[in-house]
């Protein structure tokens, strides 16, 4: 069954009608993914630009509405993949600089030391098993499977202790340093 947009394709104001009716729903749809009103607005504009560029394809479609939502979803996910790749590149650069002591600014060294001192304090409050598992995974770089084999426990036990360790550490870091975004980069 054709949706109502197919029926108005022949009209001169076809695109304008679609734009007026679907702009806000598409904006809300993209906003759910990106959580930024300005970015959602930009992505929504991009979606309608793509629709405009492909408007000749719309006349043969039965579900124009679904097609536009698919464009919105694909465009938003493409954007998020690019951001993730960009963040990975930034993390690589940061890792390079952090591995060379000479490149670290003094403020960063002081803050990093404070974070690690606080982390050690939080770890001291955990059970010896949980602390041991955390150190083996995060400090020594062992996989959950390797830790499980070394300690004679299941991989799920290791995973449970790591999830709990990270939950406790995140909670304490948020309270102490009043931030959430870059906690993952510390561990």
Six token digits for residue 68: 């536009």
**What burial letters (b/e) apply to 83-114, b meaning 16+ CB within 10 Å?**
eeeeeeeeeeeeeeeeeeeeeeeeeeeeeeee
Helix (H) or strand (E) holding 71: helix 64-99
| Structural domain contains residue 100 | no
CATH code at position 56: 1.10.1740.10
Say whether both 76 and 10 belong to one domain. yes
pLDDT in single tens digits along all 187 residues of the chain: 445 554 444 556 778 888 999 999 999 999 898 888 888 999 999 999 999 888 878 777 778 888 999 999 999 999 888 887 777 767 766 676 666 655 556 666 777 788 888 888 898 999 999 999 999 998 888 999 999 999 999 999 999 999 999 999 888 888 887 765 545 555 5
Q: Measure the CA–CA gap between 42 and 27, rounded to whole angstroms.
A: 9
pLDDT (0 to 100) of residue 7: 43
Q: Count structural domains, the chain.
A: 2
Classify the phi-psi angles of 141: left when phi > 0, otherwise alpha if psi is within -120 to 50, otherwise beta. left
The residue segments making up the domain with residue 179 are 105-186
pLDDT (0 to 100) of residue 164: 94
Say whether both 130 and 87 belong to one domain. no
| Structural domain contains residue 21 | yes
pLDDT (0 to 100) of residue 100: 60
Say whether both 50 and 118 belong to one domain. no
pLDDT (0 to 100) of residue 179: 60
């Amino acid at each position: 069954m054709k949706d109502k947009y197919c029926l108005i394709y022949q009209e001169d104001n076809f695109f304008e009608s679609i734009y007026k009716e679907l702009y806000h729903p598409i904006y809300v749809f993209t906003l759910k993914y990106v959580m930024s009103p300005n970015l959602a607005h930009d992505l929504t504009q991009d979606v309608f630009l793509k629709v405009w560029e492909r408007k000749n394809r719309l006349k043969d479609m039965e579900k124009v509405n679904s097609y536009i939502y698919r464009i919105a979803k694909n465009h938003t996910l493409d954007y998020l993949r690019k951001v993730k790749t960009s963040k990975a590149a930034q993390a690589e650069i940061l890792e390079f600089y952090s591995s060379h002591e000479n490149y670290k600014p003094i403020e960063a060294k002081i803050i990093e030391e404070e974070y690690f001192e606080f982390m050690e304090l939080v770890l001291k409050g955990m059970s010896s098993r949980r602390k041991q598992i955390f150190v083996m995974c995060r400090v020594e770089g062992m996989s959950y499977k390797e830790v499980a084999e070394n300690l004679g426990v299941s991989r799920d036990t290791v995973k449970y202790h790591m999830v709990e360790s990270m939950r406790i550490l995140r909670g304490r870091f948020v309270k102490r340093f009043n931030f959430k975004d870059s906690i993952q980069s510390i561990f």
